[in-house]
Amino acid sequence: MLLVHGTLDSPGGGNAVGAWIAQALAGAVRLEVLTERPWSPDAVDAFWGTSLARTPARQHVVPMPGSLLLRLRRQLNIERAGMRFDRLRLALVLREARRLGPGVDLCITAENFAAFDRPGIQYVHYPATLRPEPVAAAPLMRRYYDACDVLSGLTWEGAARNLTLTNSQWTARRLRAMGVESRVVYPPVFDPGPGAPWHERDEAVLCLGRYHPTKRMEAIMEMAARVRDSHPGLTLRFIGSSVDPHYTKKMRALADARGGWITFHEDLSRSALVTMLGRARYGIHAMADEHFGMAPAEMTRAGLLVFCHRSGGLVEVVDGEERLLWDDDADAVARMQALIGAPADVQAGLSERLRAFAARFSEERFCRELRETVHEFAISRIL
């Protein structure tokens, strides 16, 4: 079986899914993994909590053009210019998968839509079309997308032949509106453990995830500052990885201007992350239409009360809890002030209930459902 994924390295929820697909299948099948660059099983295990070093899979790496493009993208800082080679990188990976496909029984990917040499399994994270509308230079970008599709062999017809898995009921509904039926297999979310008792936790708000404009970090700072008007002991901690150095620098400057109550904690080890999750009471996630939200789910599993935008799969992560869901920034501030000001026993009870609810997103459940899905798909191809 061939797992096709750009990289299993951190960060990113999609890469976590890719790593745990490998974990679910390693040992159960003869697994081969195709990526855009070599990866270290020990490093993947250390970050994602897998045990891939115990059951090594054969690695395939996309030929040199893919690596060359990645180096070029970094050297030219193309992200800052608003232009990325992600589409072309994915095209090169899928093209190589089509070459390797005849030598394996089944191809599976967590890189959204794919067209293999025959029907496979695709895990779709976000209900984007195959040709998302470019932000700028639309005619040129459309030709770029067309060229990438030709290079990879990706077509709607080919992708539609695959079995589609997805990460939330919200995403599944939007895929259905596009004419794509899917099966929900919630992503694997690690269990940080119960953490400290509620009365020993800090009056801190955590924001966990990549430092990227879509996460609306500046808005989170403003919301937390307004909550501090009535709760002056509240602190804000950003925990994650800097995938956009220029945005990170800007956010650090904004934080410094507000004083020392906002801190940044980058590239933490798994054990350090567990410690920080176990010490805080609250979390926040401000991205709208987040398809699932691995970071909010991790915080919820750790017992944090996570305030989320009322959109996307976030509603499913916090079990539709009204006290945590908000429509706009002013609403978020009001709900945060209300719950943070509630009695400690009320907060602790809600924390325990939602932590138990979020256990359904476990890594063990993901592996079991993934193996069952692969088995059913393989049997259906025989019958």
- Asked if residue 83 has pLDDT above 60, the reply is no
**How buried is 123 (Cβ within 10 angstroms: 0-12 exposed, 13-18 middle, 19+ buried)?**
buried
Cα–Cα distance, 36 to 97 (Å, whole number): 11
What pLDDT does residue 360 have? 94
| CA gap 41, 55 in Å, rounded | 9
Q: Which residue has the higher pLDDT, 281 or 136?
A: 281
Percentage with pLDDT > 70 across the chain: 90
Q: Report pLDDT for 64.
A: 57
Using the 8-state DSSP alphabet, how is residue 196 labeled? S
The torsion angle over the Cα atoms of residues 22, 26, 31 and 33, rounded to 10 degrees, is: 30
Whether the pLDDT of residue 72 is over 50: the answer is no
* Distance from chain centroid for Cα 36: 19
For residue range 40-68, list pLDDT tens digits in order.
999 999 989 999 999 889 999 987 554 55
- Span 180-192, average pLDDT: 95
369: alpha, beta or left? (left if phi > 0; alpha if psi -120 to 50):
alpha
Q: What is the largest CA-CA distance in the chain?
A: 65
Among 360, 356, 361, 354, residue whose Cα is nearest residue 318: 354
CA distance 280 to 299: 9
Taking residue 277's Cβ as centre, other Cβ atoms within 10 Å add up to: 23
- Cα–Cα distance between 4 and 98 in angstroms, integer? 10
Residues 195-229 have pLDDT tens digits of 999 999 999 999 999 898 989 999 999 999 999 99
Q: How many CB atoms are located within 10 Å of the residue 351 CB?
A: 21
- 261-310 pLDDT, tens digit each: 999 999 998 899 999 999 999 999 999 889 999 999 999 999 999 999 99
Average pLDDT, the chain: 89
- φ and ψ at residue 282, rounded to 5 degrees: -130, 155
Could you list the beta-strand ranges (E) of the chain: 2-4, 32-35, 58-61, 107-109, 121-124, 163-166, 183-184, 202-208, 235-240, 262-266, 280-285, 305-309, 325-326
Q: What is the mean pLDDT of residues 185-189?
A: 96
CB 40 within 8 A of CB 130: no
Q: Is the dihedral of CA 128, 133, 137, 142 positive or negative?
A: positive
Residue 79 has pLDDT above 50, yes or no: no
Q: Which two tokens stand for residue 375?
A: 């088995």
- Asked whether the bond before 119 is cis by omega within 30 degrees of 0, the reply is no
